[in-house]
Structure 1
Amino acid sequence: MNDGEQRSFGPLGKVLVIIPTYNEAENIQPIVKRVRASVPDAHVLIADDNSPDGTGKLADELAISDDHIHVMHRKGKEGLGAAYLAGFRYGLDEGYGVLVEMDADGSHQPEELPRLLTALKSADLVLGSRWIPGGRVVNWPTSRRLLSRGGSTYSRLMLSVPIRDVTGGYRAFRRETLEGIGMEEVASAGYCFQVDLAWRAVKAGFHVIEVPITFVERELGNSKMSRAIVGEALLRVTVWGVGSRADRILGRGK
C-alpha cells in the first residue's frame, strides 16, 4: 500500500452503498435493512439488472418508503463490473463523497461497514480483507477457500500489488480515488473487475488500506460465480501482468 502518513485527508462526505442485484428477491430487503441500521446516514443504491424474480419491484417498494434508498433499473444482466461502474457514475454525479461496494447476499456484513468508513478517514481506498490477520470466511468448503486465496495470491504476484485480498468485493472508495483511476478505461466486467480497480488505485499512487472482515457464504439464492468468470479473470490478470513487466523492461511505464 502507498504511504499515507504524510498526507492529510479531507472529510468523507455523504456515503452511498451500491448493491448490484440479479435475482436477489430473497435477500434484498434484509440486506438493505441491515445497512440502514448499521450506518443510518448512508444512502443505498440498488442497481438491478432486470431480475426476472421481481427484485427490481421489491427495490422500488423499499425506495418508496425510505428516501435514503434509490433504485437503478438496468436493461439486463451485464455483469458485476458494469453494474458497479454505473453505480459509481450515479454516485459521482449526485455528489457523494464515499462510494461503497457491497454484495446483496449478506456475504458482506453491513455491521462491519462502520469500521471500513473509519479507516477511510486516513485512506483513499479501504478493502475488506478475508486474508489478513483477523479476517476469515464462514461456510466455505476447502476448495472454494483455496480458489479464492490462490486467485488473490496469483493476482498480487503477477501485478506486484501489496494487497492480500485483491479479489475481495467489500470496498469503500473516496470519490477522488474513483475520479483518478481512469474508470472510463475499465473494461473488465466479472471476477477480475475487483482486481482491475485495486491495481489501478495502487498504480495511481493512492493510499490503500485493508481491514479484516468476516465473509459469510450466502444462505439464500444462487451464487453468480462460474468457471467462465474465473477463467476470464486468470487470463486478464496474466495479460496485464505480462504487459506491465514488458512496459517496465522497455521503459514505457512505472
Structure 2
Amino acid sequence: MSDAKEKIDDDSRSGGIQVIARASAVMRTLGSHPKGLTLAAIAQHVGLARSTVQRIVAALETEQMVEAIRPGNGFRLGPALAQLIHQTHTDIISIARKSLESLSEKVGESVTLSCISGRQNIIIDRVVAERDLRVVIPMGQSMPMHATSDGKALLSTLTNDQVREWLGSSLDKLTETTLDLRHLLTQLDEIRISGFATAHQEYSVGVSACSILVPTFMGPHAVTVVAPTARFDTQVAEFKAALEECKATISHSAGAE
C-alpha cells in the first residue's frame, strides 16, 4: 500500500472516530438534561459550533436517537435509545414484569424499573396506574440521579467519593426541595442502612416517589412507586412494605449471586 493511500485511510478512520466522539458527546449531554436542550445550549456544553451540532443532531434524529420536543423547544434523547436499552435488559424485564404489575395493582400507583446507564439512571420498564390522577414516566427517560428516588437508591451502591466524582460539586436545583451535595451525601448514608430512598417533589413539583434497591445478576436495579405528593404522604409506609415484597419476588429469580 502506498504512503498516500495509507494517509487517506488513516485520515478517514480519524474522521470517523471524531464523528462518533462528537455524536456521543451530544447524546451524553442530552442524557444529563432530560428536559431537553436547544441547539445553542448543546453547542455550549460540548464546545462545538452550532452548525456542527445541528448536523450531528439531524443525523441522530434520522436514526431516532434524539427527537425534537416541539418545534423551537430543543431536543432530547429519542425512542431508539430506549429500545436498545430495553433489548439489553430483556431478561431482567421479563423476570420482573409480573412483580411490577402486582406492585402497581396493590398500591394503585405507577411503578418503574430502572438501572444505571453511563452516569444516569434510565427507566427500562414501567407499569402505569389505571386511575384518573396518575404519574406517567416516559420509557427510556434519563433522569437526574440526585433528584429522584431511584437515582438515589442506585447512587447508594457507590462510595461518597465516587458520587462526588460522578455528580460534581454543584447539583442542578430543579425545585425548591432539590438537595445540594452535602445533604444528598447525608441521605445516601441513611439509604445504605434503611434500603429505601425517597424523593419529595425534588424533580417535579407535586410528584413524590419511593424506591428500593434490587441487586440482580445484571447489576443493581431500582423499583419505584411514583405518585402525586398528596397521596404519597399518607401512604408511604404502605408503599415501602409493598416494595419489600416486590424486591423479594424479583430477587428469587434474578438476585445477584
Q: Same fold (TM over 0.5)?
A: no
Q: Which one has more relative contact order, counting CA pairs under 8 Å at least 6 apart?
A: 1
**Of the two, which has the highest radius of gyration?**
2
Structure (1 or 2) with the greater helix fraction: 2
TM-score by length of 2: 0.30
TM-score by length of 1: 0.30
